[in-house]
Amino acid sequence: MRAEIITIGDELLIGQVVDTNSAWIAEKLNEYGIELYQITSVHDSREHIIAALDEAFSRADIVLTTGGLGPTNDDITKHVLCEYFDTHLIEDQRVRAHIETLYKDRPDVLNKLTATQWLVPQGAEILENRVGSAPLMIFHHGQQLLASMPGVPYEMKIAMEEQILPYIGHSTASILHKTLQVNGIPESALAIMLEDYEASMPASLHLAYLPKDGIIRLRLSSYGEMTEAEMTQWFEELKRLVKDYLIADTDEPLEVILGKLLKQKGQTISTAESCTGGKLASLLSKHAGSSAFYYGSVISYDNSVKEHLLGVPAEMIKAHGVVSEEVVRIMAESVRKQLNTDFSIAISGICGPSGGSLEKPVGTVWMAWATPQGTTAECFHLGKLREQVSDRACTKALVKMIQLCQQ
Amino acid sequence: MRAEIITIGDELLIGQVVDTNSAWIAEKLNEYGIELYQITSVHDSREHIIAALDEAFSRADIVLTTGGLGPTNDDITKHVLCEYFDTHLIEDQRVRAHIETLYKDRPDVLNKLTATQWLVPQGAEILENRVGSAPLMIFHHGQQLLASMPGVPYEMKIAMEEQILPYIGHSTASILHKTLQVNGIPESALAIMLEDYEASMPASLHLAYLPKDGIIRLRLSSYGEMTEAEMTQWFEELKRLVKDYLIADTDEPLEVILGKLLKQKGQTISTAESCTGGKLASLLSKHAGSSAFYYGSVISYDNSVKEHLLGVPAEMIKAHGVVSEEVVRIMAESVRKQLNTDFSIAISGICGPSGGSLEKPVGTVWMAWATPQGTTAECFHLGKLREQVSDRACTKALVKMIQLCQQ
């Protein structure tokens, strides 16, 4: 079964909003054995939406649209779908009751524009949007199906998980992806190492290389032509070949992998961040259940905080600079002790654009990892762009910590 | 002038990677007066890429492709472009010299696969990729133009800014967008308030509503049919109409708006975060120049950190719970004092999925803002989904701080 996504909204095409919905939907569709063939982003324009619908229906069994379902004039998806499926809007009492209940304490929301939300296309199946006023609409188009959802990510996710995916149901096809993550080898060298393996792969198996921030994700994919057992065999062989560089044999984010290791051992971690300014803390606390292993952080963005909260001596900063082995070691050991955790990570670097020098150019980052066995520190040069430097720093910090936890 | 983007890569269509490139490119194109008509994401498949190229060239003057330019077997864009433009690969000595210099200290990278990167399509113009090995390729297609770039965001951004946009040049058309941000009014009520305004707008002017995390961005757009002065007049009128709810008259992120206010006054801020786990710190330190106003944070994810580093009495936590007015007030005042800043923000809440109770369900968040004039605190109910709660909490925290700074 093949699906396509049409994301509707001028904001996507002027760069005001990043489309995070499509990747999330893609992953869910694959779990249901449904291939996502194409994603198309179009303007809030009648002609443009109709052209995209025609093209999508020429290729796919299922068309999912997001966006354009708000109550304001710029939202036209519902009207265009009426035209496309040759129907008209009627009042839906069930939707009306739902919206009136949802906003019963919000007279400022229950106004004449919100009332247009309970007008729905006659003949469309309306699924319940538990958290919002936009109707979830299903249209049948011969053997094909269209589902229309709001573009607000939280609403879309609940709509997909609770209503639309169960409505569509699992495909009998089984799309299999298995991903592992390696560190410490360039993409091209890895590919040369895997030449024989790739040459021996059946045509139904695909290998993809996804480099990011120094990590390479290697993904094996099969679209319905291979059993789970066969796939596992190929994956195990791949793992064996890359074992010297292997960080993880799943596609989970590094902070999740670290969290699982820590939880298994009942151990805890804290962080002291300077240049990354909380990005590492934010990753470590992002996922449900992280309070079991993550205790907190001292973000010492200003040097005074390094001195007063982390006990880095002013003379040390004067002698070695804040981006130095001496300072990150103290930062790591101090936060580990103060927050009373098993492990800690400290990062101090120059993310740029300013702050670089000949000796320590932008991209220079010192890190330390404190463990019950002692503290190690390392210096990295992580590029020239602010965001790149801080992303890569977090990746390096997590990779090393995973390795230390695996020892 | 009209452009389209084709993003190439299976990883986009199985949800392994979020396409952040397109929004960034869209914004840049608009600055150059070039309308982005459509974004299409396709598989690493010869047939799919060719079909997408045909469709894009049937609509657009400029086609930009990202992705599929790596040295491994799964990257096929260069070969498909050769076929599409009826040419073949030849060795480019200039590209070879560049790659050999780029990796002169990396014999592990300078291997036979990397050597395929200096094979380029004959007849294509090759622009310099300063930071990577993938060639930036320009093809002419009658009066139309195709530019092919790597998909790695850092490489793509440098390629666009330094090479491709200057190559394309500014359009004579002037695309104008002006955005303001409001808070404290539902989208539908806002639209009702602006009914007369919208009715009086010329057809060449478009008004869009973009609600997110409690903020609504209102965007006026004109595609080449209005002067800057006329647009400004309409925008000023819009500002006047929404003045009671206005947070900002630009589309800048809230943390940037707050940063500018603080820098103007030479004031500083610190944060104490519990449930948001560093997300607010990460926002405040994200942008270049933030060290001028942002000092740091104590991320007290575990309660012990609230006690030991922020001086919240254990009895207070016992009596009121960590998600309480009493606790966030102490957190805010303590971090403001310890980090010696003018302002501070403290957040303690229940992001879920666990940790909720009947009295304090998931989504309950207490916040406090400490200022030289005193401390204020407020309780919010921000939804049921972990990510939603923490995103909205950061937004609420920033909005209130902006308002306090504007007083």
pLDDT, averaged in runs of 10, over chain A (407 residues):
97 96 96 96 97 98 97 95 98 96 92 95 95 94 96 94 95 90 95 96 94 93 90 98 96 97 97 97 96 96 94 96 97 97 97 92 97 97 91 97 92
At a CB cut-off of 8 Å and minimum separation 6, what does A257 contact?
A247, A248, A250, A398, A402
Of A74, A192, A296, the CB nearest to B206: A74
Residues of B in contact with A299 (CB under 8 A): 271, 278, 281, 285, 296-299
Partner residues linked to A91 by β-bridges: A119
Number of structural domains found in chain B:
3
Q: Do B183 and B164 have their domain in common?
A: no
Residues of B in contact with A187 (CB under 8 A): 70-72
Instruction: Answer yes or no: do A13 and B36 touch at CB < 8 A.
Output: yes
At a CB cut-off of 8 Å and minimum separation 6, what does A278 contact?
A297, A299, B278, B279, B280, B281, B282, B284, B285, B297, B299
Q: How far is A134 from chain B (nearest CA, A)?
A: 12
pLDDT of residue A231: 96
Residues of B in contact with A251 (CB under 8 A): 16
CATH of the domain at B124: 3.40.980.10
Query: Which of residues B213, B248, B283 is at a domain's end?
Result: B248
Which residues form the domain of B371?
A: 254-406
Q: Do B258 and B244 have their domain in common?
A: no
pLDDT of residue A97: 96
Question: Whole-angstrom distance between the N-terminal and C-terminal Cα of chain A?
Answer: 44
Instruction: Answer yes or no: do B113 and A188 touch at CB < 8 A.
Output: yes
Calculate the alpha carbon distances from A21 to A7, A67, A150, B13 in Å. Answer: 9, 10, 10, 12
Phi-psi region of A355 (alpha: psi -120 to 50; beta: other; left: phi over 0): left
Q: Do A162 and A200 have their domain in common?
A: no
Q: Do B231 and B374 have their domain in common?
A: no
Q: What is the C-alpha to C-alpha distance for residues A108 and B192, in angstroms, rounded to an integer? A: 11
Q: What is the C-alpha to C-alpha distance for residues A391 and A393, in angstroms, rounded to an integer? A: 5
| Residues with pLDDT less than 70, chain B | none
Query: Which of residues A168, A190, A217 is at a domain's end?
Result: A168
Instruction: Answer yes or no: do A10 and B208 touch at CB < 8 A.
Output: yes
pLDDT of residue B225: 84
Q: Do B231 and B297 have their domain in common?
A: no
pLDDT single digits (tens) A190-202: 999 999 999 999 9
Q: Do A113 and A221 have their domain in common?
A: no
At a CB cut-off of 8 Å and minimum separation 6, what does A266 contact?
none
Q: Do A357 and A224 have their domain in common?
A: no
Phi-psi region of A272 (alpha: psi -120 to 50; beta: other; left: phi over 0): beta
Q: Do B164 and B180 have their domain in common?
A: no
CATH of the domain at A266: 3.90.950.20
CATH of the domain at A232: 3.30.70.2860
Residues of A in contact with B207 (CB under 8 A): 73-74
Q: What is the pTM of this model?
A: 0.93
B295 near A301, Cβ under 8 Å? yes
Q: To which residue do tokens 């940790």 refer? A: B355
Q: Do A294 and A374 have their domain in common?
A: yes
Instruction: Answer yes or no: do B10 and A278 touch at CB < 8 A.
Output: no
pLDDT of residue A223: 87
Query: How many other C-beta atoms can be found within 10 angstroms of the C-beta atom of residue B58?
Result: 8
Extract long-range pairs of B86-94: CB within 8 Å, 24+ residues apart. B87/B121, B87/B122, B87/B123, B87/B124, B88/B121, B88/B122, B89/B119, B89/B120, B89/B121, B89/B122, B90/B119, B90/B120, B90/B121, B90/B122, B91/B118, B91/B119, B92/B118, B92/B119, B92/B120, B92/B126, B92/B135, B93/B118, B94/B126
Residues of B in contact with A271 (CB under 8 A): 299
Instruction: Answer yes or no: do B15 and A38 touch at CB < 8 A.
Output: no
Calculate the alpha carbon distances from B238 to A14, A324, B181, B193, B241 in Å. Answer: 21, 52, 11, 11, 5
pLDDT of residue B76: 97
Instruction: Answer yes or no: do A14 and B27 touch at CB < 8 A.
Output: yes
B123 near B177, Cβ under 8 Å? no
Query: Which of residues A127, A151, A168 is at a domain's end?
Result: A168
Q: Do B234 and B274 have their domain in common?
A: no
pLDDT single digits (tens) A32-56: 999 999 999 999 999 999 999 999 9
pLDDT single digits (tens) B133-178: 999 999 999 999 999 999 999 999 999 999 999 999 988 888 999 9
Q: Do B92 and B211 have their domain in common?
A: no
Q: Do A57 and A138 have their domain in common?
A: yes
Of B10, B71, B154, the CB nearest to A388: B154
Instruction: Answer yes or no: do A285 and B301 touch at CB < 8 A.
Output: yes
Calculate the alpha carbon distances from A322 to A272, A278, A312, A348, B287 in Å. Answer: 13, 17, 9, 7, 20
